[in-house]
Copies of this chain bind each other. A is one copy, B any other.
Amino acid sequence: MTKSKKTYHHGDLRNSLIVAAEQLLEQKGVAALSLREVAKVAGVSHTAPYRHFEDKNALLVGLAVVGYGRLADEMETCVNDQPDDPSKQLSSSLHAYIALARKHPQMTNLIFGGVLKNLCYEGDLAVESERAFNGLLRIILNGQEAGLYIEKETKELALLVWSIAHGFSMLITAGQMGELSDDEKATQMMVSNMGEMIINGIGHKNHNS
């Protein structure tokens, strides 16, 4: 019933290749992802991908753009869904970041694990990266304008928050968090606690300044 799959010319091969690649990625990991197998899953010869991607690396970048785009979408949703509650924007962005990484661990590794040839962080990938970070920036700025956060440079606060969300995500993805990795509930609890600690700090407040 779909309009593809009948013609000799595939029609939407570029996209089919990315879909197939993601399927294999989450199945077997970044290291075991081969261009030839992607082509086989997509139902074409192993040289067909070169019509749509210069390289294996170019396909991986294309796939990473999709993944990073999802992250950017999540960040924007956090801003738009609770436009009047900057505090909730921040906590939901933390939860969303980590939930997405937990849902697509291999995609997280692909984007941030250093497999992509570094030069390719220009172009579409850089666009999505900025879009995601701009979401975070806006969340912090909203909070600052509401008088919730200190007046330090917005970018510095955003980088701190990003580092926390990213670090926690990568540690879970890398299996460094022990039991926590598998425990959905405990993870969310931990994320909530971290959100609180970012706001209040871990220092004791018995100074009288």
CB within 8 Å of B: which residues of A? 29-31, 105-106, 108-109, 111-115, 117-118, 121, 129, 147-150, 152, 156-157, 159-160, 162-171, 173-177, 190, 193-194, 197-206
* Complex-state Cα separation, A131 to B48, whole angstroms: 49
Shortest CB-to-CB span from A95 to chain B, Å, is 14
Listed by A's residue number, 18 A-B pairs whose Cβ atoms lie within 8 Å are A105-B114, A106-B114, A108-B114, A112-B176, A113-B174, A115-B115, A147-B206, A148-B204, A149-B202, A149-B203, A152-B202, A157-B197, A160-B193, A163-B167, A167-B170, A200-B201, A200-B203, A201-B201
Task: Report yes or no: B200 in contact with A199, Cβ–Cβ below 8 A.
Answer: no
* Complex-state Cα separation, A125 to B149, whole angstroms: 40
Which one, B29, B150, B164, B202, contacts A114 given CB within 8 A? B29
Which one, B108, B115, B160, contacts A197 given CB within 8 A? B160
* Complex-state Cα separation, A118 to B173, whole angstroms: 10
* Complex-state Cα separation, A193 to B165, whole angstroms: 17
What residues of B have a CB within 8 angstroms of the CB of A166 in the complex?
A: 167, 170-171
Task: Report yes or no: A199 in contact with B202, Cβ–Cβ below 8 A.
Answer: yes
Task: Report yes or no: B164 in contact with A164, Cβ–Cβ below 8 A.
Answer: yes
